[in-house]
């Protein structure tokens, strides 16, 4: 395709015709020439926004872009409502690629009941694979907003699902043939399908009802990075028990194969939470069908300790995610 805006005819066929999910809050949505979206929210509701690009993979890019932004909104205690998309395409792009990308986006939107309300689609020579930047719009009831910095001394620390599931899925898809030389096909297939766990929207909804004080989606930098950020934002120290951090065997073995640290591997789908009664929070999450584990507590001071039996280590500032090592 030629560099510049995607032609209007292609935009209508490949983009707008793929958007089917609708929300009653949306007054003005995606359309040719529309530069702004408009939403009507109730007088007791808070407008919540988030934005994120997807650059680390070209597999399931559309669905992943929606999921990551929805997770950010959910971690604030908000219900995801709408999305704005900026899609940058390489010159090798064609209309079927755009349509496929938008179908991935709409599949994820339909699952989460989110409407695409606008954006920008452009072909440019500065990218060699599709890049999607998503701005998410959500709503939260007054008094129900949750922040990363809401944890207090004495709060328990809980992690949902398992660490490293996003990174494991990406690696299994990107390196499938290489992994099949080392692992059985069902093992690799299960690792690829970890993307089914990436939504933390149900996790957040259950946690808000249970009296959660802070939530943080575990993304780049893995669980170690998320723990550091939560502690810094809240002004607390941490005592985390390494062996209680939930991790799948597939993640452990794939990380060992590529010499990666699973605790620093991108982990969307795992939500970090704090609450005065972590055991109650875990029970409430389990009742909602969400695996969760109590992994530690918030303490006074600035020290962020990782306890492993008699050994104690200290968290360092977040580092580059381990995922990027597989591309070196």
Label residue 121 exposed, middle or buried (CB < 10 Å: 0-12, 13-18, 19+). Answer: buried
pLDDT at 168 (0 to 100): 97
Indicate the range of 43-47, 56-60, 113-117, 187-191 predicted with least confidence.
56-60
| pLDDT tens digits along 269-296 | 999 999 999 999 999 999 999 999 999 9
pLDDT higher than threshold 80 for residue 224: yes
- The residue ranges of every structural domain in the chain are 4-141, 148-327
The pair of structure tokens assigned to 306 is 């990782």
The pair of structure tokens assigned to 181 is 């030389």
Question: If you average pLDDT over residues 198-210, what whole number do you get?
Answer: 93
| pLDDT tens digits along 85-99 | 999 999 999 999 999
Q: What b-and-e string marks burial along 11-36, b requiring 16 or more CB atoms within 10 Å of the CB? A: beebbeebbebebebbeebbeeeeee
Secondary structure E strands in 142-279: 156-160, 214-217, 237-241, 271-275
**Of residues 56, 114, 128, 47, the one with CA closest to residue 85:** 114
pLDDT higher than threshold 80 for residue 322: yes
In this structure, which topology does domain 4-141 adopt according to CATH?
Answer: 60s Ribosomal Protein L30; Chain: A; (3.30.1330)
pLDDT at 59 (0 to 100): 66
pLDDT at 43 (0 to 100): 78
CB 110, CB 178: distance < 8 Å = no
| pLDDT tens digits along 252-266 | 999 999 999 999 999
pLDDT at 9 (0 to 100): 87
| pLDDT tens digits along 104-147 | 999 999 999 999 999 899 999 999 988 999 999 998 887 788 88
Domain 148-327, CATH homologous superfamily name and number:
PurM-like C-terminal domain (3.90.650.10)
How many C-beta atoms surround the C-beta of residue 178 within 10 A? 14
| pLDDT tens digits along 61-85 | 888 889 989 999 999 888 999 999 9
Distance CA 249, CA 195 (A): 16
**Of residues 146, 173, 171, 165, the one with CA closest to residue 291:** 165
């Amino acid at each position: 395709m030629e560099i510049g805006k995607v032609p209007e005819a292609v935009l209508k066929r490949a983009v707008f015709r793929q958007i089917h999910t609708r929300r009653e809050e949306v007054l003005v949505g995606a359309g040719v020439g529309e530069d702004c979206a408009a939403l009507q929210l109730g007088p007791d509701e808070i407008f919540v926004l988030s934005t994120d690009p997807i650059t680390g993979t070209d597999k399931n890019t559309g669905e992943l872009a929606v999921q990551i932004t929805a997770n950010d909104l959910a971690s604030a205690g908000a219900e995801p409502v709408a999305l704005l998309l900026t899609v940058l395409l390489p010159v090798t792009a064609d209309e079927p690629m755009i349509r496929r990308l938008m179908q991935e986006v709409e599949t994820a939107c339909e699952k989460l009941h989110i409407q695409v309300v606008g954006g920008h689609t452009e072909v440019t020579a500065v990218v060699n694979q599709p890049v999607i930047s998503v701005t998410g719009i959500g709503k939260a009831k007054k008094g129900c907003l949750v922040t990363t910095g809401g944890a207090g001394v004495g709060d328990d620390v809980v992690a949902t699902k398992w660490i490293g599931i996003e990174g494991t899925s990406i690696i299994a898809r990107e390196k499938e043939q290489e992994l099949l030389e080392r692992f059985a096909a069902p093992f690799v297939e299960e690792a690829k399908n970890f993307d089914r766990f990436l939504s933390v929207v149900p996790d957040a909804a259950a946690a808000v009802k249970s009296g959660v004080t802070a939530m943080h989606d575990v993304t780049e930098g893995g669980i170690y990075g998320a723990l550091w950020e939560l502690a810094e934002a809240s002004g607390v120290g941490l005592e985390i028990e390494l062996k209680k951090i939930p991790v799948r065997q597939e993640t452990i073995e794939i990380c060992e194969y590529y010499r990666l640290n699973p605790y620093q591997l991108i982990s969307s789908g795992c939500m970090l939470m704090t609450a005065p009664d972590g055991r109650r929070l875990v029970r409430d999450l389990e009742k909602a069908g969400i695996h969760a584990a109590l992994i530690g507590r918030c303490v006074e001071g600035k020290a962020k300790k990782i306890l492993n039996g008699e050994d104690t280590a200290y968290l360092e500032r977040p580092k580059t995610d381990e995922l990027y090592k597989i591309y070196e």
